[in-house]
Structure 1
C-alpha cells in the first residue's frame, strides 16, 4: 500500500472526470480527493503545468466547452439553471465561473467540471438619488487567499432618466463564506468602459476606467484594480506613450499576466503584456496585426483577443471577433484558423482550469447549503459508470 502523500501526488496529476470516478474505488481515495488540501494540490498542479484547461463559451444557443488539449469539437453543456436568451459568463477563477442571463436576476456561481453550482442571494440595487435609472451592471469573480474565500464584485452604473448621461456608480461585494453582500466605497470621477471586471490576477480584479473629471477633450483612461482581500481600489498605468484617442481597448489575462488589447480605426490590433505585475516599465508589445489582410473579414473593435499560449509558448490562441479561433505564430508571424465542429457562430469565450473547488461548499466548512440530494445522485452515477467502464 502506497503512503497517502504519494497517492495524493499521483492523483493530483489526473483530470477531474477521472478523479470523480476514482472516488468510488475505495474509502481512502474518496477521503483524499474530497480533502481541502488535495483540492488545492490538484489546482496548483494544473495551473503550474498548464494542464486540463478548457474554453467555456457563452452563446445564444447555450453554453459550450472546448478542450484546449485537442481543440477539435465544441460540446454543448447543460447550464446550471435554465435561462432564456444569451448566457453571459464572467471571468473564471480556479475553475469557478459566473453565469448571468439577466442584469436583474442573481448570477449563478458554477463549476462546470463538477456540475455543482450556487445561486447567489438577491441583492436589491439601492438607487443613490431620485430620477436615476440603471445603466449597466458589471460582475467579476475573485479569490481571497488570506481568508480562503471566493468573492463576487458587482459594479452598477446609474444614468439620468432624462439625459441618459452617466451620473454615478455603486459597488457591492459578495462573500461565498458569509453568503452575503456588502457595499464598498464608491469610486469618484471614474466611469466604466467595459462590460465586466475583466481580469483576476495578483489577488485583484481589473477593469478599464475613464476619468470623467479630465479637463481635456482627449479621453483619459486608467486600469482600476480592486483587491478582493482588502476590498479597496488602486490604480495602474497603461503602457507608456500608447494612443488612446479613437482606440478601443480591452483587458485580458494571458498566462497569469495582465494583457491589454488595443484596436484603432485602421483595424490594427496591438496586444501588450505586463510581464511584472504593477511595474509600468514591464509592459511589452506581444504582437501587432493589421491592417486587414491576415484577418480580412473582421472589422469590429478589439476583434482579436488572446486566450492562451501553446505548450511551447511560441503561439497564442486568439478569439477572432467571437466567430473563429486561430493560432498566431509569434515567431513566423503567421496565422492558422482552427476547424472546430459544432462551434456556435457568435460566442464569448473564457479560459477555465479544471478544479475540484465546490461553489456550494466553500473551504473546509459548510457555510452555505450543500446540495445533498444532488451529491448522492452524482456519487451513484459515478459508481455505475465506473462499474461499466
Structure 2
C-alpha cells in the first residue's frame, strides 16, 4: 500500500494578499464571481460587498454590443443578441429571456440592468414592469405603477441611478393630452425606489412648457449620464418647439427628482446636434457641411461645464447621411477604448471615427435597439 506524503503548507509570503485577490476578482466575469462565492467565506463577503460590486462595474469591460432583434417569421417576438463591437458585428451569443416581457425601447441599459415591460392583464393601458440583469439571470418584478393611465395620454418609462443615495429608480412620466391647445400643460410623475421597494407620487408639475412634453414624446428615450436624464435635441422640430429647444437640453435629475435646462455650447445653428455618452460623461456631437466637433460636459465646472474634446473637417457624405436621419431617433454609442462611435437607426448601422471623421456602413443589418452590453453584479443580493 502506497503512503501519500503530505505536502508542507506554503510559507505565508507565497500566498496572494487579500488586496491582490481583490484585483484578480475585479477582472472576472459576473457568472464566474457567483461561483467563486462558494470558495470561502472571505471571497463570499468580498464579492457581496457594495464597494466591490461598484468597483467591478468600473473595472470589468467586455466591449460588446447588445442588440434587440425580431425573431424571423414572427411579428412581435424579439430576442437579445450579444455581438462584437467591430465592423463585422458578428454574433457572439443569444441571451435567454427570463420572462415574456420586452425591453422598454426608450430605456438604455444602466449598470447592466434592463427595464422590461409588458401590458398588464388587469389594465391594458398600464405595464407590468421588472428589472432584469441578464449577465447573472436575475429578474426582479416591480409593483404596478400607481398612475391612472388612459388611452389619451403619452407615457414615458425610464431607469436611472441616484449616485448619492446609491439607489436605482424607475421614473414614469405621464405627459398629459398633447392635443390641447395650450402653451403649458401639467405632467404627472411616479418614481419607484429599488432600495425602498415602493412607489412615490410626485406633485404634478403644472405650467410645464408644452414643447418639453412634445420633445419627450418625439424622441425615443433620453441619454442617462451622472445621475440625470437628458433628452436628445430634435432638429426637425425646432421651428415648432421654439428657440430654447435649440440652445438648451431638457434634463431630469434622478437624485433631486427635479427638471432643469442645460445650456448647450454655442457651436452654430447650422450644426446638427446629437448627444451620447463618452466615458460616462455627457457628450455633444455637432456636424455641418464643413466641420465636425465633439464637446464633453464636466459637471464640476460650474456655469460653463462644456469642454471641447475634438474638432476637424467634416466629410460631406457623412453630413448628408446624418442630416437625412436627423428627424429620426438616432442612437449614438461610444465603443470603449476606441475612437469609434456606433450610430444606429432601424436598418442603418454606421461606425464613425471621431479622429479621422471617416464612416463605415454596415449594410443589411436590422435591429430594434442597439446598446453597449454591460455585465455586472448589480442587484444579485436583492
When normalised by structure 2's length, the TM-score is 0.73
Matched, 1:300 2:332: no
Question: CA, structure 1 residues 109+139, in 2 after alignment: closer, same or farther (shift >3 Å)?
Answer: same
- 2:264 corresponds in structure 1 to 238
In 2 relative to 1, CA 334–162 (structure 1 residues): closer, same or farther, beyond 3 Å? closer
Give the secondary structure class of the aligned counterpart of 2:21.
helix
- 2:52 aligned residue: 38
Per-residue deviation, 1:138:
1.7
Q: Which residue of 1 aligns with 2:68?
A: 58
**Aligned-pair CA distance for 1:359:** 6.4
Q: Is the Cα contact below 8 Å between 1:133 and 1:159 reproduced in 2?
A: no
Post-superposition shift, 1:321? 2.0
- Residue from 269, 277, 282 that aligns with 2:307: 282
Where do 5+ consecutive residues of structure 2 fail to align? 1-14, 71-77, 120-124
Distance 2:89 2:239 in 1: 48
Identify the residue that residue 9 of structure 2 maps to in structure 1: none
Q: Which of 316, 319, 330 is matched with 2:354 structurally? A: 330
Q: Does residue 189 in structure 1 map to residue 209 in structure 2? A: yes
Identify the residue that residue 251 of structure 2 maps to in structure 1.
Answer: 225
CA gap 1:248/1:34 in 2 versus in 1, 3 angstroms: same
| SS of equivalent residue, structure 2 residue 256 | coil
Indicate the residue corresponding to 1:367 in structure 2: none
Give the C-alpha shift of residue 180 in structure 1.
1.5
Structure number with greater Rg is 2
Question: Residues 84-95 of structure 1: matches in 2 within 5 Å?
Answer: 88=105, 90-95=107-112
User: Which residue is 2:143 aligned to?
Assistant: 121
Query: What's the counterpart of residue 20 of structure 1?
Result: 34
SS class of match (2:44): helix
In the alignment, is the contact (CA less than 8 A) between 2:161 and 2:169 conserved in 1?
yes
TM-superposed CA distance for 1:307, in Å, is: 1.0
Structure-2 separation of matches of 1:286 and 1:304: 21
Q: Secondary structure at 1:95's aligned position in 2?
A: coil
CA positional deviation for 1:171: 1.9
Q: How far does residue 175 in structure 1 lie from its aligned partner after superposition? A: 0.5
* Counterpart contact for 1:199–1:206, Cα < 8 Å: yes
Query: What is the SS of the residue equivalent to 1:358?
Result: coil
Structure number with greater CO (CA < 8 Å, separation at least 6) is: 1
Sort the Cα spacing of 1:206 and 1:230 in 2 relative to 1 into closer, same or farther, 3 A: same
Secondary structure at 1:107 match in 2: strand
Task: Specify every segment of 5 or more residues in structure 1 that has no aligned partner in the other structure, as ranges.
Answer: 362-389
For residues 73-112 of structure 1, the aligned pairs below 5 Å read 73=91, 75-83=93-101, 88=105, 90-102=107-119, 104-112=126-134
Q: Is the alpha carbon distance of 1:337 and 1:21 closer, same or farther for their aligned partners in structure 2, counting shifts above 3 Å?
A: farther
Match of 1:158 among 164, 167, 176: 176
Q: How large is the Cα RMSD of the aligned pairs?
A: 4.0
Task: Give the secondary-structure state (helix, strand or coil) at the position aligned to 2:16.
Answer: coil
- 8 Å contact kept, 2:276–2:283: yes
Alignment-derived partner of residue 378 in structure 2: 357
1:169 aligns with 2:169: no
The answer for the alignment partner of 1:317 in structure 2 is 341
The CA deviation at 1:300 is: 2.7
- Pairs within 5 Å for 1:362-377: none
Decide whether the 8 Å contact of 1:298 with 1:320 is kept in 2: no
Q: CA deviation at 1:291?
A: 4.5
Q: Which residue of 1 aligns with 2:160?
A: 142
Aligned residues: 340
Q: 1:77 to 1:338 in 2, by over 3 A?
A: same
